[in-house]
Structure 1
Amino acid sequence: MQSSLKISVIIPVYGEAGSITACIKNVRECCGEDCEIIIVDGSADGSTLSAVKDDGVMLLSSPPGRAVQMNYGAKKASGNILLFLHADTTLPPAADSLIRRALLAPCASAGAFKLGFDTSARSMKFIACIADLRCRIERVPYGDQAVFITGKTFAEVGGFPEIPLMEDVELFRKIKNKKLEIVVLKESVTTSARRYQAKGPLRCAFINTCLRILHVLGISPETLSKWYY
């Protein structure tokens, strides 16, 4: 029965015209032709949507903000399982089967893949290793790990809180409060290291860690977002 559950892949974008075709191709290859793909563009010019040539993809526009865009896509989704994917993240082979199998676990309602980067640099391998350790201890994945959740649980927790930063952390905090299991798969996604390389890998990792600590200490996402950007 689980194998028949439909997966809706929701991709929030903003200025991703150059990568969206490759992203859609990867989703088709790794989740099957029958999966539902929904792209939600937060840019007023709709440049990413204009670059999509696949007629089977649902194209939506919404106000900017990753949480806002993902929630809007989820409202339009018809799948039993929601997979939230960044446009610069590549899924592993047979991702659909891995997700369905993960959600067979008792009380499992959400999860994510292991984090990987599109570079062999030692600094990035170290960051990925630390991220994996943190995630397995905390059971709080980040958005660049291609998080997935049953539509039922997503509705029950009220979706992503529409805040400018840490929306993924807050979503999984709500799931944990319901005593539901969060599955972290051993298979990795491959995420672009461009943001880390632009700021410096270790500096970027340090900033992310500081922001997370400040979030735990009660600093508002709005303030954190100003500091981050």
Structure 2
Amino acid sequence: MSSSLKISVIIPVYNEADTIRSCIANVKESCGDDSEIIIVDGSSDGSTLSAVDDAGVLLLASPPGRAVQMNYGEQKAEGDILLFLHADTTLPSSAGSLVRKALRAPCTTAGAFKLGFDSSSRTMKFIAFLADLRCRIERIPYGDQAIFISKTTFLELGGFPEIQLMEDVEFFQTIKKKRLEIVILKESITTSARRYLSTGPLRCALRNTFLRLLHRLGVRTQTLAAMYCRRES
């Protein structure tokens, strides 16, 4: 895969006005000014889009739902490589080069970065360690690890399943069922620990593990999403 291939960074947002400018600046620094940045807002008030003052960023509104927003962003993307990024996640330096290099490997289909948090607490470091261990064993990264894939392959796979929760898990399960290679980079992204800290780090980690277990047991994603929302509130 050529180093000249264009990267489209797709950022699904919902009430991220406070973080979106720093997110854009980080993408430009880590992926280069020639990368395409697409922000897809699922909020009806458009507050996140209103906070963007960069004419080079493509701003889109869509129905809510992370999978719906990401798929819509892909439809407008002109890049050869798609990188799906959460607004509260910071990419490492030279992320663009790292992604291109990873996808140049003959067998690699898709990948993600190692998980890291913007917290120095031992609990959060331990949670990140366990998440990385799980990810390297299962080869199923989560959406907050900055998933990347070639646009051609993404289309061949049919995009993200438009479900309320676990769209990232089901997407990578499909890749695994096809016996395609998934790479987890050793470089870390840095994602916000705000949800963990507001809910309680251990409680949040256990909740996520429990929901993932129920998903593996075949519980409907609508039920899981309802359980997730109740615990968030």
Q: What TM-score bracket applies, with the shorter chain setting the length? A: over 0.9
Question: How many residues in Structure 1 have an aligned counterpart in Structure 2?
Answer: 229
Aligned equivalents of 1:205 and 1:44: distance in 2? Answer: 30
Q: Which residue of 2 aligns with 1:224?
A: 224
Q: CA deviation at 1:135?
A: 0.3
Q: Secondary structure of 1:15's match?
A: coil
**Aligned counterparts, 1:117-196, within 5 A:** 117-196=117-196
Indicate the SS of the match to 2:218: coil
Cα distance, 1:4 vs structure 2: 1.1
Report the secondary structure of 1:2's partner residue.
Answer: coil
Q: What SS does structure 2 have at the residue aligned with 1:4? A: coil
**What residue in structure 1 maps to residue 42 of structure 2?**
42
Q: Which residue does 1:203 correspond to in 2?
A: 203
User: Which stretches of structure 1, 4 residues or longer, exceed 4 Å deviation after superposition?
Assistant: none
Secondary structure of the residue that 2:215 maps to in structure 1?
Answer: helix
Q: Which amino acid aligns with 1:189?
A: I
Which residue is equivalent to 1:76? 76
Query: CA–CA distance in 2 between the matches of 1:218 and 1:132?
Result: 24
Instruction: Show structure 2 runs of 5+ residues with no match.
Output: none
Q: CA deviation at 1:176?
A: 1.2
Matched, 1:107 2:107: yes
| Residue in 2 that maps onto 1:3 | 3
Amino acid at match of 2:17: A
TM-score by length of 1: 0.99
Task: Tell me by how many angstroms 1:94 deviates.
Answer: 0.2
2:212 matched residue in structure 1: 212
Ranges in structure 1 where 5+ consecutive residues have no aligned partner: none
* Two-structure CA RMSD over aligned residues (Å): 0.6
Classify the secondary structure of the residue corresponding to 1:23.
helix
Taking the aligned partners of 1:99 and 1:178, their CA distance within structure 2 comes to 22
> Is 1:31 the counterpart of 2:37 in the alignment?
no
Q: Distance in 1 between matches of 2:202 and 2:107?
A: 36
- Residue in structure 2 matched with residue 86 of structure 1 by the alignment: 86
Deviation per CA, 1:118-163, whole angstroms, max 9, x where unpaired? 0100000000000000000000000000000110111011000000
| Post-superposition CA distance 1:78-129 (Å, at most 9, x none) | 1110000000000000000000011112221100000000010000000000
* Identity across the alignment (%): 72
Q: Residues 150-207 of structure 1, C-alpha deviation per residue, up to 9 Å, x if partnerless?
A: 1011101100000000000011011112211101000000000000001100110000
